[in-house]
Amino acid sequence: MIKITDFNLYYNDFQALKNINMDICANEITAFIGPSGCGKSTLIKSINRMNDLIEGCRIEGSIEIANAEIYKNINLPMLRKNVGMVFQRPNPFPMGIYDNIAFGPKTHGIKKKSELDEIVEKSLRQANIFDEVKDKLKQSALSLSGGQQQRLCIARSLAVSPKILLMDEPTSALDPISTGKIEDLVLSLKDKLTIVIVTHNMQQAARISDKTAFFLLGEVIEFGQTEQIFYNPVTTQCENYISGRFG
C-alpha cells in the first residue's frame, strides 16, 4: 500500500530522516515507536505531504501510495483526502460539531444536505461518539472535552472516506479512559483502513499494532511484526529502548 524508498528529509541543513526504506501493508495497523525527536512524526507527515507546509523542508527519495509516487505530479487535495491525519492535540475548527464533520465532504464537492447528514452520522458512529453528541450537533466543537474532541477529529477525518489514516500520538494529550476508547476505535477501523500510528506509549503499540517500526536518530533501526519487536528484538538499541533503558 505505502512504499517508502530511500527516503531522506532535511529541515534546512538538519537531516531529520536518513535512508528510510519501508513497505506498509494494507489493512494493518503499523506503529512507529522511538524516543522523542527521532523522526517518527516527520515520516508520518511526509506520507500526506503535510511537511510541505514547513519552510525549508527538502526531500530525497520516494514515497509511493497505491503505486503512485506522491512527490511527483500528484493531485495533492486527493492525496490528503485519501490519507487522513489525526494530530497530537485535538484541533477541531471553531464551528459547530456538524459543521466540523461536514467540512471535509463539502470541500470535496458534496453539497446535498441529505447526503451530508448521512455522512456526518456515519462518521460520528464510526468514531464512537454519535450517541454523545447527537442532540447537540449545532453546539460548538470547542465545548467538548479533550477526549471527545479527539474522537470528533477522528470522525472528521473519516468523513472523507480515506484509505489510509495517519495518527500522530493521538492519545498523548488525553486521560486513560479516553485513550482506551480511542484505542478500541482504532482497532475497529482496521479492516477498512490502513493505519499508521506514532506513539510514545509502548504498551499502546504492543496492544493494538500488527507491525512496529523502531526509530532512532532519523533511521529505522528495526521493522517487523509487533510481537517479534517486543519479545524478540534483533538489535541492541531496540532491545534497550523496549526494556526502558533509555527513551
Q: How far is the CB of 207 from other proteins (least distance, A)?
A: 25
Indicate which single residue of 77, 134, 145, 235 sits in contact with other proteins (rule: CB under 8 A).
77
| Distance, CA of 13 to CA of 224 (rounded, Å) | 31
Q: Which stretch binds other proteins (CB under 8 A): 76-84, 170-178, 212-220, 221-229?
A: 76-84
**89 vs 122, beta carbon nearer other proteins:** 89
Secondary structure in 3-state letters for 157-211: HHCCCCCEEEEECCCCCCCHHHHHHHHHHHHHHCCCCEEEEECCCHHHHHHHCCE
Residue keyed to cell 479533550: 146
The C-alpha cell at 101 is 464533520
For CA atoms 190, 66, 47, 101, give the dihedral sign: negative
Q: How far is the CB of 120 from other proteins (least distance, A)?
A: 14
Question: What would the x/- binding string for other proteins be over residues 18 to 57, using CB under 8 A?
Answer: --------x---------------------x-x--x----
Q: How far is the CB of 186 from other proteins (least distance, A)?
A: 17
Query: Among residue numbers 105 through 144, which ones bind other proteins (CB under 8 A)?
Result: 107-108
- 67 φ, ψ (degrees, to nearest 5): 65, 15
Indicate which single residue of 5, 82, 128, 201 sits in contact with other proteins (rule: CB under 8 A).
82
**Does residue 186 belong to the site contacting other proteins (CB under 8 A)?**
no
Q: How far is the CB of 95 from other proteins (least distance, A)?
A: 7
**Does residue 170 belong to the site contacting other proteins (CB under 8 A)?**
no
Indicate which single residue of 68, 117, 235, 245 sits in contact with other proteins (rule: CB under 8 A).
68
Torsion, CA 81, CA 87, CA 93, CA 96, rounded to 10: 90
Indicate which single residue of 10, 11, 71, 103 sits in contact with other proteins (rule: CB under 8 A).
103
| Distance, CA of 4 to CA of 46 (rounded, Å) | 10
| Distance, CA of 31 to CA of 204 (rounded, Å) | 9
| Distance, CA of 214 to CA of 31 (rounded, Å) | 8
The C-alpha cell at 13 is 541543513
Indicate which single residue of 3, 18, 163, 200 sits in contact with other proteins (rule: CB under 8 A).
163
- Enumerate binding residues for other proteins (CB under 8 A): 1, 26, 48, 50, 53, 65-68, 70, 73-82, 84-85, 87, 89, 91-95, 103-104, 107-108, 153, 156-157, 160, 163
